[in-house]
Amino acid sequence: MNLIDGYEVIARGKISVLSVSDSPLENRILENQARIEKIWQDALKENRKLFNDKLLSFLGFKDDGGNIRVNGSFVEYKDFLAQKSGLGLGIKPIGVSGVVVVREQDEEYVLFARRSKNVTLYSGFLELVPSGGIDGKYIRPNGEVDYKAQLLTEFCEETGLPESCVKEISELCLMLDSKDNVYDVCCRIDAEAQREVFMEGFRSKEYESPVFVKMRELRAFIEKNRDLMVPTSVGIVEELFRTG
């Protein structure tokens, strides 16, 4: 736990994420449907680009000897927007966050970028790339969510590089951003591409000014930029050092 930096490691181990139904959450949303719809329509008048996608809400987890099962229930983005406007729905978003590690000769590098001024949360803050929500595109028939496929999609969208550049995605932990009450499944992404290829291909609506930091200089980089870094990214770096 590191509440000073705004993050808390909830669990470590082999992580699976499952989509399940949650009657109390569904009932709260149904009971407030009229208010949710009004808030949504008002928001659309201000921003016609809003899109009502799905997002996964954290329900809980079970640790079975290092096998971490995370349960979540899908809601609509407009439900979450209504909650941000003051409705007590109890939605706790789950997302994915990765740390890209690139090896060149005898050095390992980690990719950061600055969050765009156009985003709502942590505008202008440094963050590890990639990250994003879990939106329901990768649900298997048994209800399991393929969060690594979701993270791979985020990687391709945010770096402009193909899937073939990724050698391995390995989970690090389940983490809570205690400042924003958002959960993330955090993973290490080992990529095979030159840094200059990343820089040339990087195109993202959410990020700007990508930078690679040498692994051996990472602690100093974190200390220098800690006050302007997304809490989850600080926590992921600590997990990266913990796992070696």
Mean of the per-residue pLDDT values for the chain?
A: 93
Q: Is 93 exposed, middle or buried (0-12, 13-18, 19+ CB in 10 A)?
A: buried
One-letter amino acid at 150 equals: Q
pLDDT of residue 3: 52
Domain 7-243: which CATH number of 3.50.50.60, 3.30.2130.30, 3.60.21.10, 3.90.79.10: 3.90.79.10
One-letter amino acid at 181 equals: N
- Report which of residues 201 and 219 the model is more confident about: 219
For 18, 52, 56, 72, 104, the CA distances from 21, given in Å and listed in that order, are 10, 20, 11, 8, 46
Provide the residue ranges of all domains of the chain, joining segments of one domain with +: 7-243
The overall pTM is greater than 0.75: yes
For 17, 30, 181, 182, 193, the CA distances from 26, given in Å and listed in that order, are 19, 6, 20, 19, 44
What's the number of CA atoms in the CB half-sphere (13 Å) around residue 60? Answer: 5
pLDDT of residue 97: 97
> What does the pLDDT average to over 192-214?
89
Calculate the dihedral angle through the C-alpha atoms of 160, 164, 168, 171, rounding to the nearest 10 degrees: 40
Give the span between the Cα atoms of 170 and 20, in whole angstroms. 24
Residue 243 pLDDT class (50, 70, 90 cuts): confident
- Nearest-5° angle of CA 142, CA 167, CA 8? 65
pLDDT of residue 141: 93
> What does the pLDDT average to over 110-136?
91
Give the span between the Cα atoms of 180 and 231, in whole angstroms. 9
**Which residues, listed in sequence order, are joined to residue 96 by a DSSP beta bridge?**
132, 185
- Contact criterion met (CB below 8 Å) for 234 and 242: no
pLDDT (tens digit per residue) in 129-187:
999 999 889 999 999 999 999 999 999 999 989 999 999 999 999 999 998 899 999 99
pLDDT of residue 204: 83
